[in-house]
């Protein structure tokens, strides 16, 4: 019986290769990095994907985990109205974050290329890359939404489809 492609590495040695894709905000990247450390401590390989300047600013990780961690630096394409040196939300005024999101959305092609070339078992993603769903479905890669918000915030924001896909069916406070 042939194994699904994403089960091959686990079937061989019981270890997984997991890709993590957080939003370009340090309040998102740091919790993802903490999860990366926990997963790597269990002996699994983890690829953390972000733009070069963000990866270069992340806290250093224990050397004992270095063989299991792969920091994947994908370039952030130049985007009209986005400051050239902007790398995360803290670099921008609130009304300019939309341009960071536009630039992040334009990383679809480079992300798809990376995922196609990778031998991975799982992908964990944040709310922003809504476009990852069709890519991982096409590649038959299991994925999960890793939410860094507490439950009460999610109750305020509404259903996951609203958060991830931007569906705004709820316009009234009572919704």
Determine the longest span between alpha carbons in the chain, in angstroms. Answer: 55
Cα R_g (the chain), whole angstroms: 17
| Catalytic residue check, 91 | no
Gap between the Cα atoms of 123 and 164, Å rounded: 15
Tell me which of 6, 17, 28, 44 is the catalytic residue.
28
Query: Do 140 and 116 contact (CB within 8 A), yes or no?
Result: no
Place of tokens 């390989």: 45
| Catalytic residue check, 126 | yes
Sign of the CA dihedral with 78 first, then 137, 36, and 145 last: positive
Tell me which of 6, 17, 44, 126 is the catalytic residue.
126
Work out the number of other CB atoms within 10 angstroms of the CB of residue 65: 14
Give how far Cα 51 sits from Cα of 37, 45, 160, Å: 19, 20, 26
Pair type for strands 143-145 and 17-21: unpaired
Active site residues: 28, 126
């Amino acid at each position: 019986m042939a194994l699904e492609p994403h089960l091959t590495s686990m079937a061989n040695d019981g270890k997984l290769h997991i890709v993590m894709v957080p939003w370009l905000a340090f309040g998102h990247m740091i919790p993802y990095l903490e999860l990366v450390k926990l997963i790597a401590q269990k002996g699994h390989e983890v690829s953390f994907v972000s733009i070069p300047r963000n990866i270069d600013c992340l806290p250093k990780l224990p050397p004992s985990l270095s063989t299991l961690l792969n920091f994947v630096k994908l370039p952030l394409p130049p985007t009209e109205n986005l400051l050239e040196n902007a790398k995360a939300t803290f670099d921008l005024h609130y009304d300019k974050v939309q341009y960071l999101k536009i630039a992040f959305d334009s990383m679809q092609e480079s992300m798809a290329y990376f995922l196609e070339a990778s031998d991975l078992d799982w992908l964990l993603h944040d709310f922003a890359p809504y476009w990852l769903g069709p890519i991982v479905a096409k590649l038959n890669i299991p994925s999960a939404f890793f939410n860094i918000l507490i439950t009460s915030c999610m109750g305020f924001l509404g259903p996951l489809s609203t958060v991830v896909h931007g569906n705004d069916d709820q316009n009234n406070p009572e919704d």
